[in-house]
A and B are shown apart, each in its own frame.
Chain A
Amino acid sequence: MNINFTLISQAIAFSVFIWFTIKYVWPPLLRAIEERQKTIADGLAAGERGRHELEIASQRSSDVLKDAKQRASEIITQAEKRAAEVIEEAKKTAREEGDRIVAGAKADIEHEIFSAKEVLRQQVSELAVAGAAKILRREVDAKAHNDLLVAIREDLK
């Protein structure tokens, strides 16, 4: 329990150990720890940045999607409208064309009727003249009454 030279020797040993720690142990370890802390901090910051960017990108993508949907529906509406118009136009054209065809057919028929009438009239007049000629065979001189016959034929036309 007595104080002796051991005290001084221990104090010297203590000083040497402290010097050793300050010089060789503390700095490299501190450097390693600090570097790692920096790396970790950088990594966390990068992660945070990535998360933020992802948020922005997803926001943008949903915007784009919404826009595209809206435009698609607009296009569909326009197309439907246009289709209705086209149908309407086609109907109108068809009706007009039909009317035209019908009118043409009517004109043709009328023409036919007219020419048939003409032929009939011709034939009737010839028949009438022939009949009259038969009845008036003796009295009617074809030469003498030719003018008359022509006049009748003209009338019957």
Chain B
Amino acid sequence: MASDTELTPTSYIEHHLTYLTTQVREGSSFWVLHVDTLVTSIILGVISLGFIWLVVRKATSGVPSKTQAFVELAVEFIDNEVKNTFHGNRHVFVAPAALTIFVWVLMMNAMDILPIDIMAWIMEHAFGLHNWKIVPTTDINTTFALALSIWLLMLFFNVKVKGFGGWMHELFCTPFGKNPLLWLLNLLFNFIEYVSKPLSHSLRLFGNIYAGEIIFLLLGMWAATGVSGTIFGAILGAGWAIFHILIVTLQAFIFMMLTVVYLSMAHESH
């Protein structure tokens, strides 16, 4: 759409899936930074958590204002979910982390609902940025960053709560038993579990949101078939966007719940 050259479906989709990148350090392809992903996610995090912080700073224990009631509603909802799953002192780390994850991931997912071409047009004409992906969670780096951070926290809490020996004992002696013959099997089983956790955690979120974005792009291509196609595509796009509200919220919630479950598993000995 924003390109002057001949516009094909492939170039349209490719354009919307191209990151604004910068090379942090020469040489490796690893030292590439997706500026759009990072900046958008930080802006969203600052806006959402900053909003909550502003409300919370003036929080009263008396009759709350409407905004405070809204924030409390969200916080109590998450607190309840955490309380049902996690049985330690959740206020030290797990519950605030769950709040951060839910709010942040929800905001990043919600960017998917913004009309993709209009946002691209604004980015191009207001900021002069040709490529700007506005949905950070369609970047696998984001979901992997979250999942791996949580994975590391999982290892940290395993060692912190059970001690290194306790954790090793758990790796070798669960879930099948203490018999030395089963040690290898236990370890293999736990290894698979520890590998699959961050993979399923991150790929589930990424897959859902990425697929949602691709469908928006495909629906956007209806506009290429003329006026009736544009209207048809708009109606379908609206329907998908409404349905996507559910997916966006649900995926943020699932991501948060999995985090809580993984962290509480790390806290509990088997």
Confirm or deny: A120 has a beta carbon within 8 angstroms of a beta carbon on chain B: no
Residue contact A32 to B59, C-beta cutoff 8 Å:
yes
Stretch in A21-29, A48-56, A86-94, A141-149 touching the partner: A21-29
CB B102 to nearest CB in A, in angstroms, measures 10
Interface majority SS (helix, strand, loop, mixed), chain B = helix
- Given the known inter-chain contacts A6-B32, A21-B49, please indicate yes or no for A14 contacting B59, CB distance below 8 A: no
CA distance A39 to B45 in the complex (A): 33
Residue contact B42 to A13, C-beta cutoff 8 Å:
yes
Residue contact A5 to B149, C-beta cutoff 8 Å:
no
Confirm or deny: B97 has a beta carbon within 8 angstroms of a beta carbon on chain A: yes
Residue contact B61 to A36, C-beta cutoff 8 Å:
yes
- Given the known inter-chain contacts A2-B29, A5-B24, please indicate yes or no for A11 contacting B148, CB distance below 8 A: yes
- Given the known inter-chain contacts A2-B29, A14-B146, A29-B72, please indicate yes or no for A9 contacting B38, CB distance below 8 A: yes
Q: Which residues of B contact A15 (CB under 8 A)?
A: 149
Residue contact A10 to B37, C-beta cutoff 8 Å:
yes
Q: Which residues of A contact B144 (CB under 8 A)?
A: 3, 7
Q: Which residue of B lies closest to A37 (CB)?
A: B61
Q: Which residue of B lies closest to A20 (CB)?
A: B49
Q: Which residues of A contact B266 (CB under 8 A)?
A: none
CB A22 to nearest CB in B, in angstroms, measures 4
Q: Which residues of A contact B146 (CB under 8 A)?
A: 10-11, 14
Residue contact B34 to A4, C-beta cutoff 8 Å:
yes
Confirm or deny: A135 has a beta carbon within 8 angstroms of a beta carbon on chain B: no
Confirm or deny: A57 has a beta carbon within 8 angstroms of a beta carbon on chain B: no
A-B contact count (CB 8 A): 126
Confirm or deny: A138 has a beta carbon within 8 angstroms of a beta carbon on chain B: no
CA distance A15 to B41 in the complex (A): 13
B32: contacting residue among A1, A4, A30, CB under 8 A: A4
Confirm or deny: A134 has a beta carbon within 8 angstroms of a beta carbon on chain B: no
Residue contact B61 to A39, C-beta cutoff 8 Å:
yes
CB A58 to nearest CB in B, in angstroms, measures 32
CA distance A79 to B185 in the complex (A): 103
Stretch in B121-129, B134-142, B176-184, B224-232 touching the partner: B134-142
- Given the known inter-chain contacts A6-B38, A7-B148, A32-B60, please indicate yes or no for A17 contacting B45, CB distance below 8 A: yes
Per-residue interface assignment for chain B, residues 155 to 172, with 1 indicating a CB less than 8 Å from any chain A CB and 0 otherwise: 000000000000000000
Confirm or deny: A18 has a beta carbon within 8 angstroms of a beta carbon on chain B: yes
Q: Which residues of A contact B29 (CB under 8 A)?
A: 2, 4
Confirm or deny: A83 has a beta carbon within 8 angstroms of a beta carbon on chain B: no
CA distance A6 to B34 in the complex (A): 6
- Given the known inter-chain contacts A6-B139, A15-B149, please indicate yes or no for A21 contacting B97, CB distance below 8 A: yes
Q: Which residues of A contact B96 (CB under 8 A)?
A: 18, 21-22, 25-26
Give me 8 A-to-B residue pairs in the complex whose CB atoms sit less than 8 angstroms apart, sorted by A's number: A6-B37, A8-B145, A13-B38, A21-B96, A28-B57, A32-B61, A33-B76, A39-B61
**A-B contact sample (17 more), CB < 8 A, given A17-B49, A29-B52:** A4-B30, A4-B31, A6-B139, A11-B146, A13-B38, A13-B42, A14-B100, A14-B146, A21-B99, A22-B92, A25-B56, A26-B75, A30-B75, A31-B59, A32-B60, A32-B64, A33-B76
**In the A-B complex, the 4 residue pairs with the closest CB atoms:** A35-B61, A10-B145, A6-B141, A26-B96
Give chain A's interface residues, CB within 8 Å of chain B: 1-11, 13-15, 17-18, 20-22, 24-36, 39
